[in-house]
Structure 1
Amino acid sequence: MMNRIKIFNRSIFALAMIVMALCFTTCQDDALPGTSLDIDPNKVLLITDFQAPGAEEVSIDEENSVVNIVFPCGTDLTNVTPTFTTSAGNTTTPVSGTAVNMSIPVEYTLVNGNLFRNWTVSASVRCITGFLCDAPTRADITDEDVKAAADWFFANYEGDVAKFVSMEDIKNGTVDLSEFKVLWWYYDRNDAFQMPAISQDPAVLVSVKDWYKAGGNLYLAGYANQYLWDLGRITDSYNRVIGGGGGFENGDTWTVNVVINQEHDRSSHPIYAGIQMDNVDGRKEFPVLGAGWREDHNYVIEKIPEFMVDVIGVPVDPNADFNRNPNAYNEFISRNNAEWLGTWGGINDYFMAGMLELKPNTEFQGTAIFQGIGGIEYNQNEEGTINPGGQNVHQGNINKLTKNTINYLSTKN
């Protein structure tokens, strides 16, 4: 099915091109370097039709130079060969019929004379994601961050692909987990950390574990990351930072770093697609929480080199600082079959892990994303004097990260 969004009225396009001569610094059509802007109304930089094998839906947004494609659940997006047509006189890079990796947005450049325009083509898969929750119903959620996460999720996903999954229903056998490609569990609380009793019920643990072992994909955020130990996916007793309490306020901006040890750059991972990174002291970081109140509810792994040396017995590297020990890094990712995706902002070494991708192994065929960085909140509290309205200016990065992660997990297996 194709639903093409026609934003521009072609009858006024010539006028728009003339206006562009006055405002070209903010319009989408730009002149190639070393040339002046061409206002010839016959030079139109449009994708007029876009096809991809197996696609269920293609929408073309001419105003924003965006193409969105929806594929069936289970589609491999890493090798897609789309075909498309453009308005007359254009050349494109890549050309129509070129195989591309659509697990991340693909940029197409249209050139006509001395004008060019960049188009972004994004793909997603139509899979059912469950919002896993210890509350029996959505109305029973009491934590403000979990409630905000649920509100965002159900506002941004259609009802046929977004379902509320209560652990009570799993226990009672009234929900079939095989219907779900992804389960997202975000767990938060303000008092001392402990897992909800229902999550430890044997029937719930067995059901979720069997689903995960069979290829279901888990997105765990906040305190929910403890489930990776409860399910047996992580077996080592790492040191962890587990935040708690009502929080505090300050004027800092909290960030996530995606270059581990200033060496392993994960910024191209699909969960970070479209998120603007800042280069800081050999790191790439993006902000997640602005000035104001912060609960600081971390669930992250810390002192990784110390654990690997003292408990596991990996050798110290005499040519590296203790927390930069490559032997510790290699052992950590190897024994967990993991990709280390992120740390707190400002971390230059292997001291801690705040975001991980746990890949399938011989027991668990599903993929899990571990996201335990405390600055990633879904509701900045309306408290304190710095930001009493609780408006997180970086909430868009959190929302994009969440959507990217759900989309990424929807493509696995």
Structure 2
Amino acid sequence: MKKIFAFAFLLFCFACNKGDRGISLNLSAAVDITGFSVDTAKGLIDSSKATISISLPFGSDFTKVLPTIMVPAGALVTPASGAMVNLKNPVQYQVINGNIYKNYTVTAHETPAILQFKAAGDTGVIDEPTRSIKVIVPAGSDMTHIGVNIQLAAGATITPASDATVDFTNPVTFTVKTALASVNYTVTAIDANADKPVAFLGNYASKDAITNADELAAVNWFFATYPKAEYLSFDAVKAGTVALSRYTVIWWHEDATQTLPDVAYDNAVVTNIKAFRAAGGNLLLTTFASRWVEALGVVPAYKGPNNVFGGSLGGQSQDGTNNWGISVSADHIAHPIFNGLPLAADKAYPVVYLLDKMAFRLNHVSWWKVDEWGGYGDAAGWRAQTGGIDLAGPDGSANTNQNVTIAEFPKGDHNGATIVITPGSYDWYAEPNPTTNAASPANTYLSNVQKLTQNAIEYLKKQ
């Protein structure tokens, strides 16, 4: 916008009062910037808005820019043409010609070297200011072998190269090189399920209404570990007021009763959970909740846990001699749910302790008795008849031919995965001494219970 100098206007008024004494005002001089360039880069000038935008080559130092500026004859521009400016932020230029001036705002941006970044076929979001790229890859992708496809500007190269297979277990540094610069980008690949919340299912109106001490300890740990987690009531599942598709994993830990609550068998509940599984949703069922597998069709009829028992409050006891835990199947010692769990030094086969011998426990069990009843015969028979993977048995046996305590029912074309954890050693709360009501000695292996649970949830999130 052309502006008249205030002092010129005053002089003009004074001249009118005193008569013409030869003062001449130039109010028609040109004050437009007609050219703005930095080396070979040319700015886009919008005279009506008094703005200039320029794209500088990748790797340019925006703090030391030397623009060449063209203005009409007789005009002066400040900062001057050729003067060094910092274009990391917008810079104002002023053109003065005669008695008129005009201000321009100049902004600069960088010509990108990475035009497109794809991982596992999905396009990432490139954040140039932070030199970072985030890409959401399909759920269940093997993060250790992700193929990348990268489109670059002419003259740019990148390492690792386009079409390489990259391990994205952790963020990866990609280095872009041009004639001007070498710049590192941090690329993070995220499983599509990672940002979805996980849910804790319970037969209470809210998590704050839980009264069972074992379930309460579990849910408190869960929400401390997963701050974005949500509590899901059976009533909400029954009413259909919550879209189950928003969850990657639903965990139900039932410790209060061996006989599952009636609502778990409600037609609407079963139908909605089956639909959740059919859409790829995953379940973690622990302690007595493992009995739900039959109603949901995870296993065939009459092939659910067949050895269910445990004490009631007041009947808790100590072992006093032996720690309790799980015997990990030799074929599955590398399964992700066992990652980071220490193996017992006093066992000849792989055992993970979950319950200290001195901690009081109710010994709530809901596992499969394999050899004595059920018609399985041995672990191979159990696998054939249930469709499950026998991941662990009780710590007293080197294999699962007698009992299966942890099992996985894998993801299929029409269902998500289910993991069940059933042994009496899977104990979240050490009850007080039933005689004195004094607090129980601590379960020194509680961290293993927590780690096992977290491993299971993280594994299921990736299915």
TM category (shorter chain) comes to: 0.5 to 0.7
The answer as to whether partners of 2:306 and 2:368 remain within 8 angstroms in 1 is yes
What are the ranges of 5 or more consecutive residues in structure 1 without an aligned counterpart?
Answer: 1-51, 57-68, 84-96, 107-121, 313-324
Instruction: Give the aligned partner of residue 301 of structure 1.
Output: 368
Deviation at 1:410, TM superposition (A): 0.3
The answer as to whether partners of 2:200 and 2:251 remain within 8 angstroms in 1 is yes
Instruction: Give the aligned partner of residue 145 of structure 1.
Output: 214
Give the Cα–Cα distance (whole angstroms) in 2 for the partners of residues 387 and 378 of structure 1: 18
In the superposition, the TM-score normalised over structure 1's length comes to 0.64
Deviation at 1:337, TM superposition (A): 2.4
Give the Cα–Cα distance (whole angstroms) in 2 for the partners of residues 77 and 359 of structure 1: 16
Q: How many residues align?
A: 295
Query: SS at the partner of 2:425?
Result: coil
Query: SS at the partner of 1:403?
Result: helix
Instruction: Give the aligned partner of residue 167 of structure 1.
Output: 234
Query: SS at the partner of 1:249?
Result: coil
Instruction: Give the aligned partner of residue 265 of structure 1.
Output: 331
The answer as to whether partners of 2:326 and 2:351 remain within 8 angstroms in 1 is yes
The answer as to whether partners of 2:145 and 2:166 remain within 8 angstroms in 1 is yes
Among all aligned residue pairs of Structure 1 and Structure 2, give the percentage whose two residues are the same amino acid. Answer: 25
The answer as to whether partners of 1:292 and 1:386 remain within 8 angstroms in 2 is no
Larger Rg: 2
Query: SS at the partner of 2:268?
Result: helix
Instruction: Give the aligned partner of residue 428 of structure 2.
Output: 378
Deviation at 1:100, TM superposition (A): 4.5
The answer as to whether partners of 1:70 and 1:126 remain within 8 angstroms in 2 is no
Give the Cα–Cα distance (whole angstroms) in 1 for the partners of residues 415 and 327 of structure 2: 28
Instruction: Give the aligned partner of residue 338 of structure 1.
Output: 388
Instruction: Give the aligned partner of residue 32 of structure 2.
Output: none
Instruction: Give the aligned partner of residue 49 of structure 1.
Output: none
Pick one of 236, 251, 256 that aligns with 2:326.
Answer: 256
Distance 1:145 1:351, change over 3 A: same
Query: SS at the partner of 2:220?
Result: helix
- Counterpart amino acid of 2:383? I
Question: What are the superposed Cα offsets for residues 246-291 of structure 1, whole Å, 9 maximum, x if unpaired?
Answer: 22123231111103xxxx3322110011111125554101111112
Give the Cα–Cα distance (whole angstroms) in 2 for the partners of residues 284 and 258 of structure 1: 6
Moved more, 348-357 or 280-289: 280-289
Q: CA RMSD in A?
A: 3.3
Distance 1:211 1:394, change over 3 A: same
Question: What are the superposed Cα offsets for residues 122-144 of structure 1, whole Å, 9 maximum, x if unpaired?
Answer: 99833321111111111211100
Asked if residue 388 in structure 1 is aligned to residue 457 in structure 2, the reply is no
The answer as to whether partners of 1:220 and 1:368 remain within 8 angstroms in 2 is yes
Instruction: Give the aligned partner of residue 285 of structure 1.
Output: 351
- Counterpart amino acid of 1:207? N
Instruction: Give the aligned partner of residue 156 of structure 1.
Output: 225
In the superposition, the TM-score normalised over structure 2's length comes to 0.57
Pick one of 391, 394, 397 that aligns with 2:448.
Answer: 397
Please list, as runs of the form range in 1=range in 2, the aligned pairs for 1:4-403 lying within 5 A after superposition.
74-80=139-145, 99-100=166-167, 102=169, 125-159=194-228, 162-189=229-256, 193-234=258-299, 235-237=301-303, 239-246=306-313, 247-251=316-320, 252-259=322-329, 264-278=330-344, 281-290=347-356, 291-302=358-369, 304-307=370-373, 311=375, 328-349=378-399, 350-361=401-412, 364-383=414-433, 388-403=439-454
Give the Cα–Cα distance (whole angstroms) in 2 for the partners of residues 73 and 382 of structure 1: 47
**Higher-helix-fraction structure:** 1
Give the Cα–Cα distance (whole angstroms) in 1 for the partners of residues 259 and 381 of structure 2: 29
Query: SS at the partner of 1:398?
Result: helix
Deviation at 1:99, TM superposition (A): 4.4
- Counterpart amino acid of 1:147? L
Give the Cα–Cα distance (whole angstroms) in 2 for the partners of residues 391 and 100 of structure 1: 40
Deviation at 1:73, TM superposition (A): 7.4
Which structure has the higher relative contact order (CA within 8 Å, separation 6+)? 1
- Counterpart amino acid of 1:300? W
Question: What are the superposed Cα offsets for residues 89-146 of structure 1, whole Å, 9 maximum, x if unpaired?
Answer: xxxxxxxx874484xx99xxxxxxxxxxxxxxx9983332111111111121110011
Give the Cα–Cα distance (whole angstroms) in 2 for the partners of residues 248 and 268 of structure 1: 33
The answer as to whether partners of 2:258 and 2:308 remain within 8 angstroms in 1 is no
Give the Cα–Cα distance (whole angstroms) in 2 for the partners of residues 70 and 406 of structure 1: 22
- Counterpart amino acid of 1:175? V
Give the Cα–Cα distance (whole angstroms) in 2 for the partners of residues 73 and 242 of structure 1: 41
Distance 1:98 1:206, change over 3 A: closer
- Counterpart amino acid of 1:342? A
The answer as to whether partners of 2:137 and 2:190 remain within 8 angstroms in 1 is no
